[in-house]
Amino acid sequence: MKRTAFITGITGQDGSYLAELLLDRGYDVHGMVRRSSVERFDRIEHLRGRVTLHQGDLLDQRSLGDALRATQPDEIYNLAAMSFVAVSWVQPTLTAEFSGVGVTRILEAVRETCPDARFYQASSSEMFGKVREVPQTELTPFYPRSPYGVAKAYGHFITVNYRESYGLHATSGILFNHESPRRGLEFVTRKITWHAAAIKLGLVDKLRLGNLDAERDWGYAKDYVEAMWMMLQRDQPDDFVIATGVAHSVRECVEIAFDQAGLAVNDYVETDSSLIRPADVEQLIGDCTKARELLGWEPRTNFEALIRLMVDADLALLTQ
């Protein structure tokens, strides 16, 4: 029988790739979108005829219940959030509402309308923050370093708690950074690849960055949405770290991107102290042994290949 999936955050980077994956696997795909005076569904424009969209917002309990009641999903992927760490200091309360309490709202809606559905929560390596051990696993204690990380830690634990309190099939994927040509322009990899392409084409002349020494375990979003799906195929709900196990610095990202564009870094890149965060996460490295062993999941795309493909995509985008 055809299975039904419901995705919050379907207009985001991950939501759009996950919708494609689920359609390919024969699912009836539903997504939640929020009202805006200008409709911006660029990432799912090519899927518009194949997915059903429901109006809703993580701030609005009624809309969550109504959308789930109408959909009666087998699987729910809660990807919606205020996902940009830097803005979480500017809008700390709203971030807590979206990315923290919003998880409780949707879990309550699940309990009320479709308690047998399988639920996925988009947790984050930002919860490890000022890391307690290297590499980080499912058992590493959290020490979030931003209002976003704190909100995600709440979302993670409320998911665990509803699994243990009410027997929901609720799973939390602790995903490390993952990028793609659909990544928002404000995130550092895409900011770098877009600028490398734009400088190459003579459209802009500088790239200003903050902390060049920060290191992240960066993977490819397409590989990571597959892990989300794999987690919900298990009869046992659980928590999984998804990562590549290798960290690179922002500086290395710049070097690869500019090399791909055929440019010399020193001529174009400047540091800008206003882009330094009040508290940054210096290094994240994940250990995805549990996902390898229990899900059979493997990252397929390495960092260098990822950054090069993003530069090529930005060159193509800007020459359209």
Residues that bind ligand GDR (CB under 6 A): 83, 85-86, 124-126, 176-177, 186-188, 191, 209-211, 214, 216, 250, 275, 277, 280-281
Contacting residues toward ligand NDP, per CB under 6 A: 8-9, 11-15, 34, 57-59, 79-83, 98, 122, 124, 175, 177-178, 184
| Beta carbons of 95 and 82 less than 8 angstroms apart | yes
Smallest distance, ligand NDP to C-beta of residue 1, A: 28
Catalytic residue among 63, 83, 88, 124: 124
When the beta carbons of 58 and 150 are compared against ligand NDP, the nearer one is 58
Determine the distance from the C-alpha atom of residue 30 to the mean position of all C-alpha atoms in its chain, rounded to a whole number: 19
CA pair distance 83, 9, nearest whole angstrom: 10
Q: CB under 5 to 8 A by kind: which of ligand GDR, ligand NDP, none does 4 bind? A: none
When the beta carbons of 7 and 263 are compared against ligand NDP, the nearer one is 7
**Which structure tokens are listed for 319?**
């020459």
DSSP conformation class of 208: E
Strands 215-216 and 248-249: antiparallel
When the beta carbons of 109 and 247 are compared against ligand GDR, the nearer one is 247
| Contacts (Cβ under 8 Å, ≥6 apart) of 226 | 21, 297
Residue of 149, 197, 155 whose CA lies nearest to 177: 149
Residue type, 54: H
Smallest distance, ligand NDP to C-beta of residue 207, A: 21
Active-site residue, 298 included: no
Active-site residue, 126 included: yes
CA pair distance 140, 129, nearest whole angstrom: 11
When the beta carbons of 168 and 188 are compared against ligand GDR, the nearer one is 188
| Beta carbons of 56 and 66 less than 8 angstroms apart | yes
Smallest distance, ligand GDR to C-beta of residue 13, A: 8
**Which structure tokens are listed for 148?**
């976003």
Q: CB under 5 to 8 A by kind: which of ligand GDR, ligand NDP, none does 196 bind? A: none
Q: CB under 5 to 8 A by kind: which of ligand NDP, ligand GDR, none does 184 bind? A: ligand NDP
Q: CB under 5 to 8 A by kind: which of ligand NDP, ligand GDR, none does 59 bind? A: ligand NDP
Q: CB under 5 to 8 A by kind: which of ligand GDR, ligand NDP, none does 138 bind? A: none
Smallest distance, ligand NDP to C-beta of residue 301, A: 14
CA pair distance 80, 91, nearest whole angstrom: 16
**Helix, coil or strand: residue 30:** strand
Active-site residue, 45 included: no
Q: CB under 5 to 8 A by kind: which of ligand NDP, ligand GDR, none does 14 bind? A: ligand NDP
Smallest distance, ligand GDR to C-beta of residue 275, A: 4
Number of C-beta neighbours around residue 308 at 10 A? 16
Q: How far is CA 170 from CA 59, 60, 89, 161, 223, in A?
A: 20, 21, 29, 9, 21
Which residue number is nearest to ligand NDP in terms of Cβ? Answer: 12
Smallest distance, ligand GDR to C-beta of residue 66, A: 27
Number of C-beta neighbours around residue 59 at 10 A? 14
Catalytic residues: 124, 126, 148
